[in-house]
Amino acid sequence: MKVEVNGNKLELMTGDITKQSTEAIVNAANGTLLGGGGVDGAIHRAAGPELLEACKRVRAEELHGEYLPTGEAVITDGYRLPAKYVIHTVGPVWRGGTNHEEQLLANCYRHSLQLAMDKGMASISFPSISTGVYRFPVDLASVIALRTIVDFLQMHAFGHVVMILFSEKDYQTYESVLRQVLDES
């Protein structure tokens, strides 16, 4: 599904985020930035060992050895990926919705988009952040992701945003939610 929002393109598709040729792809990272499972592990494997070294540098130099806070975003090169850059963001672990998970998830999308725009990029691909091992319910995550992205695109001339979804079921959820979000705006 492809739609236009304020002259920007928003696209939903199933696929492999490591194969996307947008200027940046977003990594649903853990706070250590040292790789992990799911999307994070797939991106690290596809990018090669240089990505891990870059993440270590970011952690040492920008984060002063601390973990990347949930909802924040940092950037590295993409190395062996088709995308020139990887924007790393830490999604919230779902704990029932009582620990600001919704706001933290919205921050992941907002801060990643803002970082890409600040760096002069015009295209970015997102996974469905936090809906894997972090157990954020896809129904709720899709509403938060798409409302945040649509709101951002309504306020900025950005370019092209792609949501890369893991399964056909996730795609159908996001497609239904996108129609609702567009009707509301």
Indicate which residues carry an active-site annotation: 40
Tokens standing for residue 11? 């696209």
- Name the packing angle between helices 38-47 and 49-61 (round to 10°): 110
- Using a 10 angstrom Cβ sphere, with 0-12 exposed, 13-18 middle and 19 or more buried, the burial of residue 127 is buried
Q: Which of 152, 142, 165 is nearest to 8 (CA)?
A: 152
Tokens standing for residue 127? 């996974």
